[in-house]
Amino acid sequence: MGLNLWQTVKSLVMRNDAEAFDEVESDQDPVLELDDDVRTVITGAMEHAKGFSPKVIASWALGGVLALSVVTSAFAGGSPATPPNAPEPPSPAPVVQAAPESEEEPQASDVRVSVVVSEQWPMEDAEAASVVVEVTGTADDGEEVAQSVSVVPGSSRALILEPGAYSVAAKTSEVTLADMVFVASGQTLAVDGSGDDLSATVTFVLDEAKTQEIADAKAEAQRAAEEEAARQAEVERQAAEEAERQATEAEAARQARAAAAEAQRNEQTVYITDTGSKYHNAGCRHLKESKHAISLSEAQARGYEPCKHCH
């Protein structure tokens, strides 16, 4: 059977046609019986060994048929047939695998952090001289990152960041300068490990609504202050008028008292003598010789003068 099997397999492979099996079976070869397992082995060899010579393919297919015969005989107690001088099946060509490309080590990037402000930003204000910018995030190796840097508005500062995802924002997102409110907007930043230089910007813009609120509140405070000043001035004016009125009344009262005292003094009784030119109070020593009662006003009208001893 070995020789017949070899010749049959070689003939089939040379014809390279699966329909050859049907022709072989139809000839009813008394020596070779091609069952389904043999057919499968031969057609498989023909399919997988395309490109080799028919002789090589036949050798390969015959090796498969013989292996099948060995297994079948082992279970059936028989011995497998061996073809005469059957060549060894060819070894498959080695597959050369391309060496994997070496991956580059991820590189950190230089990041320029800039602060941009609107034209209303009061550059002369000391509080507006610098802005603190915070950079937070997570590096690709899982490390938490938090850095801060002071940046002069209109300029930039450099940071070195490892590959990862970050957020860049102003530490104070809303600032009030010279009665104006500015709000900051930051950005997210992805460092991809290429080592390329990157940039990030924090921008401050004028919040017109909040700035107007401050202006309105300031105007209202000024109006209230002016009203209070006017009220206080009116109170002071009224107080001054009252003080002046009281002073006038007091002066008038004083003058009235003085006039009354003068009138009373003028109406008091004094004494004159027969020969003297003076008027005297009662009990004066010059009244020993003579003494005549008279009113002070009348004495003064008649030219009498006060006595130096009793007045």
Give me the pLDDT at residue 279, please: 87
The Cα–Cα gap between 63 and 198 comes to 66
State which residues form the domain around 255.
215-263
Considering the domain architecture, whether residues 168 and 114 belong to the same structural domain is answered as yes
In a domain, 77, yes or no: yes
Going by pLDDT thresholds of 50, 70 and 90, the confidence category of residue 123 is: confident
In a domain, 255, yes or no: yes
Q: What is the pTM of this model?
A: 0.47
Bridge pairing between strands 269-272 and 187-191: unpaired
Considering the domain architecture, whether residues 113 and 201 belong to the same structural domain is answered as yes
**pLDDT of 175-197, one tens digit each?**
999 999 999 999 999 999 999 99
* Bridge partners, residue 133, by sequence: 149, 170
Q: What is the largest CA-CA distance in the chain?
A: 210
- Residue matched to tokens 């005469």: 84
Give me the pLDDT at residue 210, please: 96
Considering the domain architecture, whether residues 12 and 32 belong to the same structural domain is answered as yes
Q: What is the CATH number of the domain that holds 115?
A: 2.60.40
The Cα–Cα gap between 215 and 205 comes to 17
- Residue matched to tokens 């409110």: 181
What's the number of CA atoms in the CB half-sphere (13 Å) around residue 100? Answer: 3
Give me the pLDDT at residue 261, please: 81
What's the number of CA atoms in the CB half-sphere (13 Å) around residue 221? Answer: 6
In a domain, 71, yes or no: yes
- Asked whether the beta carbons of 146 and 167 are under 8 A apart, the reply is no
The Cα–Cα gap between 255 and 262 comes to 10
φ, ψ (nearest 5 deg) of residue 40: -65, -40
**pLDDT of 61-99, one tens digit each?**
666 666 656 545 544 444 444 444 545 555 555 555 655
Considering the domain architecture, whether residues 159 and 121 belong to the same structural domain is answered as yes
Q: What is the mean pLDDT of the chain?
A: 80
